[in-house]
Amino acid sequence: MALTPPSRTAVFIDKDGTLVEDVPYNVDPTLLRFTPRAPEALQALAAAGHLLVVVTNQPGMALGHFDRKAWMALRHALMRKVEQEIGVQLTDVLACPHAPSPRHAPGCLCRKPAPGLLRQAAATHHIDLRRSWMVGDILDDVEAGHRAGCQSILLDVGHETEWRLSPLRRPAHRAGDLLEAASWVLRTHHPDDAPQTQVCATAS
């Protein structure tokens, strides 16, 4: 029997600095604050039929700043906050718990800029990565999206400091906040569109 091809589209969203204000190693739900115009962005994307998936690096687990139980409590609080305050649902919140690997050492497959979290979400939720988008505030997010086969948008809000550019790290668009990124997605792509040519999917 032939497998049904993935048909759903998603917008993958970085957590800290993109969806919520960046509080280093935070697992306190009371400190969760949406970035400017993030609620309107999620509402617009959900109304257009996109799944909303948060993908985040959380090295604080590996570094001993908090444990998995604390992270799962924050994850639940974030999903509840989005549903209660914004009126939409996050399809999933996926985290890489690993610390950065030493320079030139092999890393895990899930820490962005690796595409593992996006591919995991695609397999779980039947997402067509070629018609999906990644939005984040640093170029590692952009690269992760491209490695997964998505198009990528950079929130150019001052959080990227190294600017190591390459074809995989070149965003399709730069936005000032999440709503501007959402508007770009909605202007250029609709969930019912035919699949697009894969962008920067092959890593060097």
Of 96, 90, 88, residue with least CA distance to 117: 96
* Angstrom distance (rounded) from CA 187 to CA 136: 18
pTM over 0.85: yes
* Angstrom distance (rounded) from CA 81 to CA 123: 26
Which of 14, 92, 137, 141 is catalytic? The answer is 14
Which of 16, 128, 141, 177 is catalytic? The answer is 16
pLDDT at position 188, please? 87
At 155, the pLDDT band (50, 70, 90 cuts) reads very high
pLDDT at position 89, please? 98
14 noted as active-site residue: yes
16 noted as active-site residue: yes
> Per-domain residue ranges for the chain?
10-101+111-188
Contact 179, 38 (CB under 8 A): yes
Domain 10-101+111-188 indexed as CATH 3.40.50.720? no
34-80: pLDDT as tens digits: 999 999 999 999 999 999 999 999 999 999 999 999 999 999 999 99
1-35: pLDDT as tens digits: 456 777 899 999 999 999 999 999 999 999 999 99
Task: Look at residue 192 and tell me whether its pLDDT is greater than 80.
Answer: no
